[in-house]
Amino acid sequence: MEKKRKKKHIKHVKHMKKKELKRKKNSRLSKAQLKIKRRRARRRIQIMGRVAVAFLVLGAVGGGAFAIIWNLPEVKLNRELNAGDEYTQEQSYDQAVQAYGNALELDSTSVKAYRCMAGAYLGMQDGSHAKQVLYEGWENTQDESLLEYYCTVILNEAVDEINGGMTNLETLDKVESVLEQGLLRGEALDIMGSAYRRLMEQYKGDGTAVDFAGYEEAMSRLFALYQKEQTEEIGAMAAEHGYLDVGELTVPAEHVDAYLDILQQANEIQPLDARSDLIACLQKEKEIQEVFAGIFQEFDAGNYEAAKEFIVTDTYKGFRDAFIAQTMEYWTGETYIPVSREYVKLKQDEGKWTFSFPEFSENEATAGVITVWGVDMTDNDVLRTYISYEPAMQNGAYYPHVQYVISYMYSNLQKKNGFLYDMNYHFETRTWTEEGMTTHMVGDWGGPYQWEKTY
């Protein structure tokens, strides 16, 4: 009896030591590791329970029946799905994807397998594969919940880009792709509105360095979407963003036509007084460029004689008179008004727009600048007419800087035996160097009493 009691005591002591070792081992594990360990233990218990039930069935109907039940497609499918769920809970996403993939091999129409596999990919921050799985799932099952999940993933990506300050044209593509599916329309329109507002902030900046290429592409997409959808919400977006509402705006010459087209399309959707005024302003700018295009070509080629006919035209004298009387519409300037071809400067004052061109000193890369002289100077009540031209800098150097001035005036001409007052042309070449300026003047230029003087 004593021997039996002693043996029982030794067994109890061993059990307690084993339990203590297990406790110490667990105390060294993190909470996350303990959580995973408990899940796996529960899983083993579940599996053992299933095996026990299977053995009971085996005992009742025989081993062959057990094998048939264990290998039923439904049982295999649930086994893989349950395994995937366990791996997902443990954040073992690679194994979860494998398990759900096994499930889909068993049943390619399992909506749960597609959803859960996509969730596992998202857990790995792999949105690309998540979207691929969901879209393939929708194609295979035509289950709308998978397509909606697919759209949700896309919209979440767009929101992340907007919130992260990384909005771009691809963000618009993502939202538009959801609109094309016809799901989550309200959410998609809200997100698209936010995306366009962020993009416009990026494009317009302070108005002096607008990303017109990006702006034009974004607006082209928006107008195309409006033409396709014809909805009030998208029309309102196009009307809102089809106008850069800034105090000053610099538009490169190669983007004037495109910006004017954007303004006109937006105004057709929803008229706006300030936008209408800007349309008229830019149309006037284009008219001016057309008037001066031919004389620019002549001056660029060194043919200054062409100015003789140009400055006596009614159009040119009309510009001169309007600046002197301060009645010129949209085009601003005082006394010496530059015309150049690289870009136009726009300015807004309480919804009213005006334009001007940069002077030679403002643009080192200019191909040449013509200046209209709005000078109120008369001889015997005959108003003088002036124009000047500054060709492009040579090798990017300001000096020597040359300006050619052509004038038509009523002046005193010296004949051999006296003086004659008559209309005649003067051609003046002004040359600036670091030391100063020299002028070479030709009076009665091309006439019978031509004279020259340098000073």
Q: Which residues contact 71 (CB under 8 A, 6 or more apart)?
A: none
Torsion of CA 324, 327, 329, 331, to 10 degrees: 20
Residue type, 372: V
Torsion of CA 223, 227, 231, 235, to 10 degrees: 30
Q: Is 75 helix (H, G, I), strand (E, B) or coil?
A: helix
pLDDT of residue 270: 96
Q: Is 285 helix (H, G, I), strand (E, B) or coil?
A: helix
Helices (H), 242-272: 256-269
- Nearest residue to 154 via CA among 143, 137, 138, 170: 170
Residue type, 322: A
Residue type, 137: G
Which structure tokens are listed for 270? 């929803």
Helices (H), 71-211: 73-89, 93-106, 111-123, 127-141, 144-163, 169-181, 185-204
Q: Do the bridges between strand 436-443 and strand 451-454 make them parallel or antiparallel, or are there none, so unpaired?
A: antiparallel
| pTM > 0.85: yes or no | no
In DSSP terms, 142 is beta-bridged to none
Residues of the chain with pLDDT under 50: 13, 19, 29, 34, 41, 44-45, 47-62, 65-66, 70
Angle between helices 169-181 and 185-204 (to 10 degrees): 160
Which structure tokens are listed for 167? 């909005």
Give the Cα separation of 396 and 3 in Å (integer). Answer: 112
Torsion of CA 285, 286, 291, 293, to 10 degrees: 110
